[in-house]
Structure 1
Amino acid sequence: MNALIKSATIVDSKSDFHNETVDILIEKGRISKISKDLDNPNNYQEIALDNLHVSQGWFDSSVSFGEPGYEERETIANGLKTAGHSGFTAVGLNANSRPVIDSYADIAFVKSKAANNAVSLYPIGALTQLSEGEDLAELYDMSNAGAVAFYDYQYPISNPNLMKIALQYASNFDGLICSFPQESRISGLGVVNEHINSTKLGLKGNPALAEELQIARDLFILEYTEGKLHIPTLSTAKSVELIRAAKAKNLNVTCSVAIHNLSFTDDVLHDFDTHYKVLPPLRTQKDCEALIEGLKDGTIDMVTTDHNPIDIEHKKIEFDFALNGTIGLESAFGALQNIFTTKKTIALLTQGKARFGVKTASINEGELADITLFNPDKSYNFSQADISSRSKNSMFLGSALKGVAYGVIANDKMVLK
């Protein structure tokens, strides 16, 4: 792929041209020249967009696309297209499908479905067979097939010995174990945060204690095994404190937070709108503030959209019975920029790569082009017209956002809106 990007401001601290507005010449998928006012003698496609900025390609460590089994919610092909339109050049695909992705063949299948795409798909294999929490899945085989981590998506591992064995076994091949932070015997049938609003609304509560107990348990096991652990989607202030203390002890742990848990509290639940039904649930303002502070001081390593398309039949029903989940790829950049500076937003969208073994490339001459194109200043109200996903279950509908992605250039391909 050949292209000439005109008048783009580079946001990449590892680039020799950081904060400069330049032209970028890409030939055969590689950056061949960066300078001001480059000529285009070979008549390559020129990309000139309003207030154009570029950065290293963004990465999301937790997305679900449905396929195989839930193609009515989302397919891999359209999911990757949506990710590209939203500025992501790489995504970690959860084993949130039927059949569950828990074998070498399953990993090979999803990789084949994603082949020859601008957006790279990094499969996350199930930690246990069928994600049932009973027996470990084929972790080593899946690693050889290309799995970058192992996670029973939103299913907690109740057996502490199983978690111990998983961390010990995966250490033999530097495998990354992910553990969903919820003690199910405490959370019970809770569907929202256990607090004042759950009582007012008459909805069963899922207390912060359920998350914090599970995290505390896993950190004790991690310290014992000296393994490698990632805890996805923190949602409480105490959880941040637990991770901060673990990192002070130099435990090999990372964590993420879902962008919607930074943006909304359980105060939005008064209309019983199932768009806001997610797991972990939306918490309090105090929790939001602690999560944001955790990102600022580096306690929390990365953000995720936790993108989870749900079909209307399973979303537009009584709150107790609706499935958890919101899509989030399309709104991610604009939502983060409501909270952080552009520089910090870009850092949050790129710094999770190393943990999941995702390739990185700075915006410098000679590097492969792995670039996100965006306008950080456009303000707009997020609507269904902004959604590329098959499912439309976004809790950001109607929200005022700041910043839009134009698309990506990666893997010798280009995806633009």
Structure 2
Amino acid sequence: MKVLLQAVTVFNPKSAHHLQQQNILVENGVISYIGSESKEADKVVALDGLCVSGGWMDLNAFTGEPGLEYKEDINSIADAAAKGGFTEVLCLPNTNPVLQTKGAVNYLINRSKYLPVTLHPIAAVTVETQGKDLTEMIDLHQAGAVAFSDGTKPLQGADVILKALQYVQLFDGLLMNKVENTRLTENGQMHEGEVSTRLGMKGIPSLAEEIVVTRDLQLLAYAGGKMHFSLVSTAAAIDSIRKAKADGLQVTCDVASYQAAFTDATILPFDTNYKVAPPFRSSDDVAAIKKGLQDGTIDALVSAHMPHDVEAKKLEFDLADFGISNLETAFSVAHTSLSDTLPLEYLVEKFVSGPRQVVGLPTPLIEEGQQANLTLFLPEETWVPSAETTLSKSKNSPFFGKELKGRVVGIIHKAQVVLH
């Protein structure tokens, strides 16, 4: 099949065509022509303002399969990812059973083999994600796990983190950790501050994130290896990571794409669709996130896609589960809330090269002869997501009914074309 992308603006810094408007012909999954000439094709995609970049990668998404398919399954997460512009997605290990065996790794890889979106397994660091005994990490790495994390369950024990850092060095692996001291966040519902006090809700202190970052950086300096912090949200944590990078530590971090969309003062009180972990923080924290994205301290933006069934969200605020559905809206939410501080060129790289550099995977190149791994988007077009049009099984999103800037048109990956 031949697909012609007509007069598209290329976002690909390592390509000779970066920021140029070109015609791109894709034949059977391979870029066969880039230039000004028009070519015959089975399908022509021609839209005013259309842009193309390397396919976007997400470092943090939850799929319920196996065991929790009523929240999300492999087909539905792939559909939602494609609609959101992602060609590759890293899946958290918090399934049932936990993703901690070679069989589980192979299952996820094989189930997505023929889908237009590649699903990469993040294997559990500890058995049953209980934070105690390490899994068979070498076997899991050889089976295809791209990183190790206990996912939604932050590693608490310094001894476990130390051993894991030493272990992953045997195969140049990556340890990921969600930065949260669970003893300090126990029963917390939202950011600890003036708003939580006024609403009478138990707060989640910034300190719970900051002390874990400080401790883990000390362990990293002592043990060596590579470490990635998932879902950072506070100014002090970002500053500590910035200093650690300057000191030469192999540390990276990401932020949920929605983290700058709200503060604790702008969320709708008691609406469980605004209940996320880490919570929406203060305006100072949002400013620090923007600065961290600008100066490269924050390596990637992630969807933090956490789909839930109605029964897990339609409850009193303190009983509802944390998390929102965000694969389809991740780019648009970030573009809407960050366009005043982060140029589009840099924003796109937080979804393309940034995530791949974190996990050591090659970044797609838009040049003739290269396999097409592409995302098509209209950065200036607005759209309104809704529960009726979402492809995710779950409807837990604070962005339904809100106008967002930047619409994904489709993806081309594994010789498959998905257009919306």
TM-score (ref. length: structure 1) = 0.97
- Residue-by-residue CA offset, 1:39-64 (whole Å, 9 max, x unaligned): 31xx5222223422111111110011
2:377 matches 1:379: no
The answer on whether the counterparts of 1:29 and 1:368 sit within 8 Å (CA) in structure 2 is yes
The aligned counterpart of 2:152 is 154
1:129-140 superposed matches below 5 A: 129-140=127-138
The aligned counterpart of 2:36 is 36
Amino acid at match of 1:411: K
- Residue-by-residue CA offset, 1:65-113 (whole Å, 9 max, x unaligned): 1111111111111111211111111111111211110111110111111
Following TM superposition, by how much is the alpha carbon of 1:386 offset from its aligned partner in structure 2, in angstroms?
Answer: 4.6
The answer on whether the counterparts of 1:201 and 1:270 sit within 8 Å (CA) in structure 2 is no
2:16 matches 1:16: yes
The answer on whether the counterparts of 1:303 and 1:348 sit within 8 Å (CA) in structure 2 is yes
Gapped regions of structure 2 (runs ≥ 5) = none
- Residue-by-residue CA offset, 1:238-280 (whole Å, 9 max, x unaligned): 0011101111110010000111211111123453000011111
Q: How many angstroms apart in 2 are the aligned matches of 1:61 and 1:100? A: 18
Describe the SS at the equivalent of 1:211: helix
Cα RMSD, aligned residues only: 1.3
Following TM superposition, by how much is the alpha carbon of 1:119 offset from its aligned partner in structure 2, in angstroms?
Answer: 1.2
Q: How many angstroms apart in 1 are the aligned matches of 2:143 and 2:402? A: 40
Q: How many angstroms apart in 2 are the aligned matches of 1:358 and 1:121? A: 13
Q: How many angstroms apart in 2 are the aligned matches of 1:105 and 1:220? A: 35
Amino acid at match of 1:383: S
Match 1:346 to one of 345, 348, 359:
348
2:328 matches 1:330: yes
Q: How many angstroms apart in 2 are the aligned matches of 1:239 and 1:252? A: 16
Following TM superposition, by how much is the alpha carbon of 1:414 offset from its aligned partner in structure 2, in angstroms?
Answer: 1.1
**Percent of residue pairs bearing the same amino acid type:** 39
Describe the SS at the equivalent of 2:47: coil
Q: How many angstroms apart in 2 are the aligned matches of 1:315 and 1:146? A: 34
The aligned counterpart of 1:397 is 400
- More moved, 375-384 vs 309-318: 375-384
Seen in structure 2, the aligned counterparts of structure 1 residues 403 and 269 have a Cα distance that, compared at 3 Å, is closer
The aligned counterpart of 1:318 is 316
Q: How many angstroms apart in 2 are the aligned matches of 1:97 and 1:67? A: 6
The answer on whether the counterparts of 2:258 and 2:334 sit within 8 Å (CA) in structure 1 is no
Q: How many residues align?
A: 415
The answer on whether the counterparts of 1:15 and 1:363 sit within 8 Å (CA) in structure 2 is yes
The answer on whether the counterparts of 1:179 and 1:231 sit within 8 Å (CA) in structure 2 is yes
Q: How many angstroms apart in 2 are the aligned matches of 1:116 and 1:382? A: 27
The aligned counterpart of 2:187 is 189
Q: How many angstroms apart in 2 are the aligned matches of 1:72 and 1:95? A: 17
Following TM superposition, by how much is the alpha carbon of 1:360 offset from its aligned partner in structure 2, in angstroms?
Answer: 2.1
TM-score (ref. length: structure 2) = 0.96
2:414 matches 1:411: yes
Q: How many angstroms apart in 2 are the aligned matches of 1:112 and 1:222? A: 34
The answer on whether the counterparts of 1:330 and 1:386 sit within 8 Å (CA) in structure 2 is no
Amino acid at match of 2:247: K
- Residue-by-residue CA offset, 1:179-221 (whole Å, 9 max, x unaligned): 1111112222212111111111111111000110111110000
Q: How many angstroms apart in 2 are the aligned matches of 1:384 and 1:57? A: 25
The aligned counterpart of 2:301 is 303
The aligned counterpart of 2:71 is 73
The aligned counterpart of 2:241 is 243
Q: How many angstroms apart in 2 are the aligned matches of 1:44 and 1:398? A: 36
Q: How many angstroms apart in 1 are the aligned matches of 2:3 and 2:22? A: 14
The answer on whether the counterparts of 1:81 and 1:415 sit within 8 Å (CA) in structure 2 is no
The aligned counterpart of 1:365 is 368
Q: How many angstroms apart in 2 are the aligned matches of 1:226 and 1:37? A: 52
The answer on whether the counterparts of 2:263 and 2:282 sit within 8 Å (CA) in structure 1 is yes
- More moved, 107-116 vs 351-360: 351-360
The aligned counterpart of 1:261 is 259
Match 1:51 to one of 49, 52, 57:
49
Q: How many angstroms apart in 1 are the aligned matches of 2:186 and 2:45? A: 53
Following TM superposition, by how much is the alpha carbon of 1:400 offset from its aligned partner in structure 2, in angstroms?
Answer: 2.7
Q: How many angstroms apart in 2 are the aligned matches of 1:366 and 1:372? A: 17
